[in-house]
Structure 1
Amino acid sequence: MNEDLSSVLELRDAQPVFEESGLTAIAYSLRLMPGDCALIACRDPTRASRFADLCSGLIPLVSGGISCLGLDWMTLPERRAWALRGRIGRIMQKGAWIDLFGTDLNILIQQLHHTKTPTDTLVAEAVRLSRLFGLPGLPTLSPDRLSDADRAKSACVRAFMGEPRLLLLEEPVDPDTTDMMTPFLAQLTAARERGCGVIWFSRTPSIWHGYVGEGIQRYRLLDEGLLPVKQVH
């Protein structure tokens, strides 16, 4: 894994404002170094999404701090904070699709907005990732006209675009669907080898069976907070 000594993400006794988040107003602590992967079991999809929002600097704090790539979310000017979010790939449980646009624009819009990468280069990357995830090419239909499976694949394409430095993945792979797991794990491994930090949420911890190795942390996200899970060897 990457030897960079600065963390990708660090929550330092971060206590969110309950009224703004719905998260239990207790201190959350987590540190992801480049290439680390935190596997977080959470039965409540809303809680997982709110914790991902917390990691993205979208929820104010009562106390403590959160930094991403060495930058403190709470002190960053708004424009720089949104630019930093451009380095985060995210899969949201509810999709966050805009059905007025084609899926292709939904996939490209973050990179078009936050980077100066030429459009042709972004399209080529999106097409390559689409094919890796089992799509025939970059889908142009609106998201509401895609099958659930193709929307899930498109969500992975969008998350992995632009070689993100942090991935926040809310239930990225359906435990009952096997055809996505191989390309998903291949892209996840490649991202971690580039130094990307990963948080992977799931309601079904059995999906991680056999996913072991250096830099993997395991937690449960409960009303009581973020609780470490002992590794069983």
Structure 2
Amino acid sequence: MSDDLHAALELREACPRFEESGLTSVPYSVRLMPGDCMLVACRDPVRATRFADLCSGLIPLLSGQALCMGLDWDHLPEHRAWALRGRIGRVMQQGAWIDLFGTDLNILVQQLHHTRTPTEDLVAQAITLSRRFGLPGLPTLSPGRLNNADRARAACVRAFMGEPKLLILEDPVDLETADMMTAFLAELTAARERGCGVIWFSREPDLWHGYNAAGTRRFRLLDEGLMPMKQGV
């Protein structure tokens, strides 16, 4: 069946195991359709990462279900679960960089592993995205040798590679990298128009000011769970 018939992400009373996740064992329910966007305000970066892990099928549940593109994470064999994660673009708080490799390989490795796209096509796409996000080209230095702003740009390049079906973005833009907001919103809009569902976490909700695109909802992620925000907040 077509992915478009399924929610990009659906949590059905999904209650995580606290001892294995650190998330409060409360039920989370949300349905994110292709092209929709969830803006999630969360001051605690660790909590945001754990919730992102829940959405990615990395946290065991006490009860309920977590589904991605119509597939229940708990019912997928490990190799199929990792293949499904290959269709998720993610910016992580801690970067998840491997400093033994150049930033270019860090950016390319997910697509090299999960797709049959020719390497030269992936490199061309990565170079194009790198320039759009303000890098002079695809960075070859190890991630640890880039400054914080360029690592943030590289993280966005990696997340948007391969036209993902779901984007999970943990503070992709902050006050230090606000100069790339125009490029970021352009890529975000293009991804949503292709049918990609988006979860955008931010410790600085003021960065969302003026972003009122159709299909966008706002939430706060608290100890008590995921709470809807009033429109315009």
Could you state the TM-score of these two structures normalised by the residue count of structure 1?
0.97
Task: Write out aligned runs for 1:65-214 (5 A).
Answer: 65-214=65-214
Residues 130-184 of structure 1: per-residue CA shift (max 9 Å, x gap):
0111111100000000111110100000000000000000000013433210100
> Structure 2 CA distance, aligned partners of 1:213 and 1:119?
35
Residues 13-34 of structure 1: per-residue CA shift (max 9 Å, x gap):
0000111100000100111001
- Aligned partner of 1:9: which letter? L
- Alignment check: 8 A CA contact 2:149 2:176 kept: no
> Structure 1 CA distance, aligned partners of 2:52 and 2:107?
19
> Structure 2 CA distance, aligned partners of 1:77 and 1:176?
40
Q: Tell me, what secondary structure is at the counterpart of 2:40?
A: strand
Aligned length: 231
- Aligned partner of 2:18: which letter? F
Q: Tell me, what secondary structure is at the counterpart of 1:177?
A: helix
> Structure 2 CA distance, aligned partners of 1:227 and 1:128?
37
Residues 182-214 of structure 1: per-residue CA shift (max 9 Å, x gap):
100000000000000000000111110100021
> Structure 1 CA distance, aligned partners of 2:17 and 2:165?
26
Residue 49 in structure 1 maps to residue 46 in structure 2: no
- Aligned partner of 1:107: which letter? I
> Structure 1 CA distance, aligned partners of 2:142 and 2:200?
27
Offset, 1:78 = 0.4
The gaps in structure 2 that reach 5 residues or longer are none
> Structure 2 CA distance, aligned partners of 1:209 and 1:145?
33
Match of 2:61 in 1: 61
> Structure 1 CA distance, aligned partners of 2:178 and 2:144?
23
The gaps in structure 1 that reach 5 residues or longer are none
> Structure 2 CA distance, aligned partners of 1:87 and 1:43?
27
Could you state the TM-score of these two structures normalised by the residue count of structure 2?
0.97
> Structure 1 CA distance, aligned partners of 2:186 and 2:175?
17
Offset, 1:232 = 3.3
Residues 33-86 of structure 1: per-residue CA shift (max 9 Å, x gap):
010000000000000000000000000100000110110000001000000000
> Structure 2 CA distance, aligned partners of 1:43 and 1:94?
15
- Alignment check: 8 A CA contact 2:152 2:177 kept: no
